Amino acid sequence: MSTVDETKLRYLEYMHREMAVRHQNYDDEMYRYHMLKAGDLQAVEESLRTPARGAMGTLSGDPVRNAIYLFVAAVTIACRFAILGGLEEERSYNISDLYIQRADAARTVEEISALHDEMMLFYTREVAAAKKKRIYSKPVLEAINYIYYHLYEKQTVEEIAEAVGLSANYLSAQFKKELGQSVADYVMSQRIEAARNMLRYSSLAYDEIASTLAFSSQSHFIQVFKKEVGCTPREYRLRADQHEDEFEVQ
């Protein structure tokens, strides 16, 4: 089993003592993430303006590569704290992926530093918006995440409830209380939202979309879509193709 080289570790500790090098204060660093989790934009902004006590780690001899490594560590922590703050799990991971891709393309330390601050503020705004939008209990959040990951499968209330360790009656009652709709209605709303994206950003045929989203038939998909959105899938796609990005169908 491979382990950290103890000799190298002790040498690094010795060199840091001799050069009076100390890593960033733990409490200072974690305060910033806790404020992100709280959605406190002002506190995070102030934290970013305050010089850090101690030095950042040295992970590479190349300054840019070192900055990228540190950025990846920071965005990884921010992503998890954002989820704890109420941001949807998949959205938080996707934000993390996109920022890491941008960091990977960066060419200067200054560029990565600016990206770090932007990332922290973006996550904080996302958490703040999520808190204003809804406050869900842990069981309901777990059910929402399960529904998200199994959206392309047929789902019953009983199956969802079993997956998150609840009774169907309790889960139904909690959904009605916290979301104001039934589990089945929530699942359908998420499928319709996915259908909107498929219609706007893919060339999938209507029967393929219906099949992918577990509708019983293409006609059922069209019927439900028109009821929920106010137009047929074909009409929706035509408007999207005409670049009417902000259109709203009543």
pLDDT tens, residue by residue, 141-200 = 889 889 988 888 999 999 999 999 999 999 999 999 999 999 999 999 999 988 988 898
Q: What pLDDT does residue 95 have?
A: 95
Any idea which residue has 């960066």 for tokens? 106
Cα distance between residue 231 and residue 248, in whole Å: 10
Tell me if 39 sits within 8 A of 128, measured CB to CB.
yes
Nearest in space to 231 (alpha carbons), one of 212, 247, 250: 250
Q: What pLDDT does residue 93 have?
A: 94
Q: What pLDDT does residue 14 have?
A: 45
Full-model pTM: 0.55
**Where in the chain do CATH 1.10.10.60 domains reside?**
138-241
Q: Which residues of the chain have pLDDT under 50?
A: 1, 9, 11-12, 14-23, 54, 245-250
Cα distance between residue 133 and residue 136, in whole Å: 10
Q: What pLDDT does residue 240 have?
A: 79
Q: What pLDDT does residue 43 have?
A: 85
- Helix, coil or strand: residue 23: strand
Angle between the N-to-C axes of helices 218-229 and 183-201, in degrees from 0 to 180, rounded to the nearest 10? 100
Tell me the CATH class for 138-241.
mainly alpha
Cα distance between residue 192 and residue 198, in whole Å: 10
Tell me if 137 sits within 8 A of 93, measured CB to CB.
no
